[in-house]
């Protein structure tokens, strides 16, 4: 039996409850969001995280140009959450016209929130290969923080076009590099242009996903942005302790979890229980991991049948992370070509039993 509420209070200092996040008419309760992640936050993973308690999930980042051009692969990612749950759509680009059209497509799909990506560090998004932005998708993401005036114009254009009931948010990095940490200066301008929520990943573009998260810059953004515009902190939140550290050190109104949720949707259940003052749920054992893995695979079969083998390879490895023998499992899984073999491998690894029914 795990520790009770009194033990949890001793382990995890700080507030136990949190006010629901209000972004325009959208209420996010608990104020814990799943970050948009390329090739990760598909409908199946969003559903799993919603079932474990994420207050809001956001699609993978989608190219505004690709959406406007009718690219089928990108359009397929513009999928509503199951059961009518609210969800957000993240877009990237550096031209107002396609961003506006893509935002309207997102609204038509049922999105409760549209988010503009101004934080992706990937070279193929940031540069055109010659060190200069171009007019399609490159020069987007974190590169927009190098051109604050353009970033502000893009927010204003999308906000003017979106229906009033759908809030617009922006996701930033702390800055381009250590010399150019301009999120505290840029964020208030984006709010004035129409952003109803600002999320800050506390790393620079130069850091990528390495190094420690910079909580101080997130705190500075919260201090700089008017109180009526919530700020969401992002970076290195993997459990209740790091969730509270983010909230306490920055004063942020909500927390976004990215890589800490990959193969670990239980983090949302743990934080939800913490915020409700409930005893912490028991950590998942191997049988629980297998149960959720099979549920995840069933969702992949339903929503991405053409890619289910590739997804199954990734998922088996993600849920096995941290378990003894995970490296050997990965080597075997990545060479398999049939979903049946992959599910049998997962059952052998996690439970040593015949394959259970996926439901």
Residues 6+ apart with CB under 8 A from 151: 118, 144, 145, 170, 186, 189, 190
Structure tokens at 293: 């893995």
Cα–Cα nearest to 284, from 260, 298, 266: 266
Selecting among 49, 120, 300, 317, the annotated active-site residue is 120
Residue 271 φ/ψ, nearest 5 degrees: -70, -40
DSSP structure string for 143-193: GGGG-HHHHHHHHHHHHHHS-TTS-EEEEEEEESSTT---HHHHHHHHHHH
Cα–Cα nearest to 17, from 6, 1, 27, 29: 29
CB burial of 236-253 (b: ≥16 within 10 Å; e: otherwise) equals bbebbebbbbbbebbebb
Residues 6+ apart with CB under 8 A from 344: 355
Cα–Cα nearest to 36, from 73, 90, 78: 90
CA 51 to CA 258: how far, in whole Å? 16
CA 159 to CA 327: how far, in whole Å? 47
Cα–Cα nearest to 112, from 167, 158, 63: 167
**120 an active-site residue?**
yes
Structure tokens at 123: 């070279």
H runs (alpha helix) in 225-307: 240-250, 266-275, 286-303
Catalytic residue numbers?
120
């Amino acid at each position: 039996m795990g520790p009770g509420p009194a033990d949890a209070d001793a382990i995890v200092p700080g507030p136990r409850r949190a006010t629901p996040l209000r972004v325009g008419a959208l209420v996010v309760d608990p104020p814990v969001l799943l970050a948009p992640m390329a090739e990760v936050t598909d409908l199946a993973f969003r559903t799993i995280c919603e079932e474990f308690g994420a207050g809001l999930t956001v699609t993978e980042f989608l190219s505004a140009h690709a959406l406007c051009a009718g690219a089928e692969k990108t359009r397929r990612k513009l999928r509503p959450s199951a059961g009518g749950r609210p969800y957000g759509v993240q877009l990237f680009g550096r031209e107002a016209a396609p961003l506006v059209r893509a935002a309207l497509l997102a609204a038509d799909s049922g999105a409760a929130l549209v988010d503009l990506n101004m934080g992706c560090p990937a070279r193929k998004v940031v540069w055109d290969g010659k060190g200069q932005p171009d007019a399609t998708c490159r020069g987007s993401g974190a590169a927009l923080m190098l051109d604050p005036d353009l970033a502000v114009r893009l927010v204003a254009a999308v906000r003017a076009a979106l229906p009033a009931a759908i809030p617009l948010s922006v996701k930033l990095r702390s800055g381009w590099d250590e010399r150019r940490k301009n999120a505290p200066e840029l964020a208030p301008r984006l709010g004035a242009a129409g952003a109803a929520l600002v999320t800050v990943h506390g790393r620079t573009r130069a850091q990528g996903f390495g190094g420690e998260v910079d909580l101080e810059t997130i705190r500075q953004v919260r201090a700089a942005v008017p109180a009526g515009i919530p700020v969401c902190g992002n970076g290195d939140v993997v459990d209740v302790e790091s969730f509270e550290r983010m909230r306490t050190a920055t004063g942020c109104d909500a927390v976004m979890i990215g890589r800490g949720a990959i193969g670990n949707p239980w983090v949302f259940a743990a934080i939800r229980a913490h915020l409700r003052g409930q005893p912490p749920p028991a950590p998942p054992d191997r049988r629980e991991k297998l149960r959720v893995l099979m549920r995840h695979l069933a969702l992949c079969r339903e929503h991405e049948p053409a890619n289910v083998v590739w997804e199954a390879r990734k998922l088996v490895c993600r849920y096995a992370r941290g378990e003894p023998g995970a490296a050997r499992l990965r080597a075997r899984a990545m060479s398999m070509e049939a979903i049946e073999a992959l599910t049998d491998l997962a059952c052998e690894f996690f439970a040593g039993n015949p394959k259970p029914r996926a439901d």
